[in-house]
Amino acid sequence: MGLIMRLDRVMADRKITLKELAMNIGITPANLSNLKTGKAKAIRFSTLEAICKTLKCQPGDIIEYTSNEDGSLL
């Protein structure tokens, strides 16, 4: 239920490490790790924009919304 971060999947597809991505977008690896694991409570639009620009993806590629316990949409 809620938002699921798919950042790890996109990073694997692009063959980029957490450390490389963090350096490219200007945040600490610890903060990026929190985003990747879904532990972060918020994300700045500027950070989301930098991630999408670096990974050449759309926000929907890295953030997924589910509303049911089984993970499906209503």
Structural domains of the chain, with CATH: 2-66 (1.10.260.40)
Cα–Cα distance measured from residue 42 to residue 56, given in angstroms and rounded to the nearest whole number = 21
More confident residue, 44 or 70: 44
| Model pLDDT, residue 61 | 97
* Cα three-residue angle 62-65-67, rounded to 5 degrees: 160
Q: Are 11 and 51 spatial neighbours (Cβ–Cβ below 8 Å)?
A: no
State the chain's mean pLDDT as an integer.
Answer: 91
When pLDDT is cut at 50, 70 and 90, the band that residue 66 belongs to is confident
What's the rounded Cα separation, in Å, for the pair 34 and 74?
28
β-sheet bridge partners, residue 3: 65
pTM: 0.85
